[in-house]
Amino acid sequence: MRFGARLADAVRRRGPLCVGIDPHPELLAAWGLPADVTGLDRFTATCVEAFGDQVAVVKPQSAFFEAYGAQGVAVLERVMDGCARRGALVVLDAKRGDIGSTMAAYARAYLADGSPLAVDAVTLSPYLGFGALQPALELAASTGRGVFVLARTSNKEGGDVQAALVGGRSVAQLVVDAAAGHNAGAQPYGDVGVVVGATHTGTDLDLSELNGPVLAPGLGAQGATAQQLRGAFGAGLHGVVPVSARDVLAYGPDPGALRDRIATVQHGLGGIGTP
C-alpha cells in the first residue's frame, strides 16, 4: 500500500495531527530527566506509550538522537519501532539532501526494506536541485514509502532563498511544482509531500496541483492556530498534516496529561487533513 494512501487512511482514523518528538535538553530538564542517553530513552519511551496508538503520525527529529552518538541512534530505532507497532506512521525529520551515490546511500538508509532506520517517510532538502533527490524518490516509490520535500519552511532565514523568484515563480513554488509532477493521477493523493510552515498565513504558494500531503510544522508553540491553517492552505487543506511538538510535549512527563493535550489539539483541528 502506497504511503499517500496509508497516510490518508491513518488521518481518517486518528485525525490529522502529527506530534514531533524533539527531545532537546531543555525539555529533558523540564521532565526532570538528565541530558544523557538514559534521559533520552526515558523521555522517548514515555512518548511512545502516551501517543503511539493515538496519533496518525509522529515525527522524531533525528538531530536530537544523533547528538548522543550510536547509543542515541539506537534509541531512535526503538522509538520508530515502538510507534510503528502501535499503528502510527513515522516521518523522520532528517532533512537529507545530496547528489549521486551519497543521495542513494541516504535513500537506502531511510527508505529501503530491511534498513534499521527505515521509516514511512523522510524529510528531504531540495537545495542541491530537485533532480538530485531522484534516488530517494525512486526507492520510496518502489517500497511504498514517502518523502516530504522542504518548500517554504517556518524559519525566517528561509525566505531569502525560498521566496526568491526564478522566471517569475518563487523557488518554493518550483519545489511544489516538481513534487506535483510525481503525484499526478495518484488517489487519494501521491507520496511526494512538501513541507510548508504553518505560520505562513496567506502564503502565495499554489498547492492546487500538488495532489500530495503538506507537512505543516509550527502549530501551537510557534504561533500557528487551526484557524490560520484553514486560511493559509484553502483548497489544499485536505492533505495538510499539522505538526505540534513543544505545545504537546510541555504536558509531560505524565502520559495521561500528554494524551489529554493531544485530544484537545485534535478537537480544534476538526475538518483539517481528511481527504
Length of the chain: 275
Q: Does residue 235 register a pLDDT over 60?
A: no
Q: Which H or E run includes 44?
A: helix 37-51
Average of per-residue pLDDT across 204-230: 84
Enumerate the active-site residues.
Answer: 95
d(CA 108, CA 115): 7
C-beta separation of 105 from 135 below 8 A:
no
The span from the CA of 187 to the CA of 54, in Å, is 25
Q: What is the 8-class DSSP label of residue 234?
A: G
Mean pLDDT in residue range 153-168: 91
Arithmetic mean of pLDDT, 213-222: 83
pLDDT band of 202, cuts 50, 70, 90: low
Q: Could you tell me the pTM of the whole model? A: 0.95
Q: Looking at the predicted structure, is the pLDDT value of residue 102 above 80? A: yes
Distance of CA 255 to the CA centre of its chain: 22
User: 269 phi and psi, to 5 degrees?
Assistant: -95, 15
Q: Per the structure block, which three cell numbers stand in for 114?
A: 530491511
CB 109 within 8 A of CB 147: no
pLDDT in tens, 23-76: 999 999 999 999 999 999 999 999 999 999 999 999 999 999 999 999 999 999
Question: Which domains does the chain possess?
Answer: 3-268 (3.20.20.70)
DSSP string, 132-162: GGHHHHHHHHHHT-EEEEEEE-SSGGGHHHH
Q: Give the Å distances, CA to CA, from 97 to 18, 104, 132, 135, 153.
A: 23, 10, 8, 11, 15
